[in-house]
Amino acid sequence: MVRSKNSPESRGLTRKRTIKEKTEGAPKKTKLMGNNMEEKSLRQVEQEVLKREREREPAEGRSGASRPCVEAQMPKNPKNITNYKFHKELGKGSFGKVMLASLNNCRDQVAIKVIRKTTSVEDILTEARTLRITGACPFLCHGYGAFQTQMHAFLIMEFMSGGTLEQLINKRGCLNRDIIQFYSAEMIIGLQYLHSCGIVHRDLKPPNILLSAEGHIKISDFGLAVEGIFGNKKMYDLVGSYHYMAPEIHLMSGYGAGVDWWAFAIILCQMAARRSPFHEGLTLLNIIESVTLKQPSIPEDISPDLKSLMQELFEKNPDKRLGTSGDIRKHPFYRSVDWAALENRKIPPPFKPQSQVLSPSVLWLEVYS
């Protein structure tokens, strides 16, 4: 994950968990302190991840439904910090940092999320569990494993050398229809897979959409994801980045997977017009008033079917919002998409991004020991 200095979160506009979660049966969160995780090591975490994954395996996975299965290539002996050379910082946030690293004596590159142990156990468990199941979908960032030191927990993930969607938009400006259709269709597959597993991302935005070396997208950063959201189950905590938060989050009226489709619509507008359809003033009050009370300013110079898609996604009633209501794959904007071929990555990307070059320098990271 790469975060731009000009992104909302770098300006202090990322809303953190400040209200007690009101979902029924929500697990009590404890803090990671000292040399343990409330008597849980990450080895125990991994065992719990595997156990819960088996218990909650989606029905479509058991029934042999046609979902693409992409096996993540597990680095050799990845469970010790001394096995890695750290090269540069890819991004940072309230959780800690994401570092580019490589295994000693080889050129395999990985992204390692370094999480301070002040983060709650359940947050780390949720992200670790999510990374365990992402290997079943080609458009989600895959995880390789986890380990810990005295002060930090580490999540090992695949490194996406094509950069982020945010970087692409900043570099190329407004994207053309074919690119928007291709990337958004791959995002739809990734989101629908997460939602079928009861997972809501809650922080979907261009910095968290990564590009592979081939030019496919991958949804990343599951640090604010929540599990077990099926049917009419609601969440009430204030989570996410203000510019991408749906009206029901701001109004604290209870929300579900529809918040991801609202954020998806914001991303569509940014790809098409390089701007948000709502007030982009720096005051939180302006943002909240614009999202909850006003209609989106959808670009006029886009195709009618793309405009229609945005209008249906910007439905303020989450029960009527496209994505949670109706079949988004059947929208006219995606009429030409061969979904089966796309899921199996048989459709070539519209272009190949310039890969980031691995720095030869090695950082001294004694601070993470």
Q: Is 221 a catalytic residue?
A: no
3-state secondary structure the chain: CCCCCCCHHHHCCEECCCCCCCCCCCCCCCECECCEECCECHHHHHHHHHHHHHHCCCHHHHCCCCCCCCCCCCCCCCCCHHHEEEEEEEEEECCEEEEEEEECCCCCEEEEEEEECCCEHHHHHHHHHHHHHHHHCCCECCEEEEEECCCEEEEEEECCCCCEHHHHHHHHCCCCHHHHHHHHHHHHHHHHHHHHCCCECCCCCHHHEEECCCCCEEECCCCCCECCCCCCCCECCCCEEHHHCCHHHHCCCCECCHHHHHHHHHHHHHHHHCCCCCCCCCCHHHHHHHHHHCCCCCCCCCCHHHHHHHHHHCCCCCCCCECCECCHHHCHHHCCCCHHHHHCCCCCCCCCCCCCCCCCCCCCCHHHC
**Euclidean distance between CA atoms 253 and 63, whole angstroms:** 36
The CA-atom distances, in angstroms, between 188 and each of 25, 105, 139, 192 are 29, 38, 9, 6
Catalytic residue among 203, 221, 237, 260: 203
The CA-atom distances, in angstroms, between 293 and each of 50, 249, 286, 296, 368 are 44, 13, 10, 10, 46
Q: Is 117 annotated as a binding residue?
A: yes
Rounded to 10 deg, the angle between the 258-273 and 304-313 helix axes is: 150
The two tokens of residue 131 are 């990374």
Known binding-site residues for ATP equal: 117
Known binding-site residues equal: 117
Catalytic residues: 203
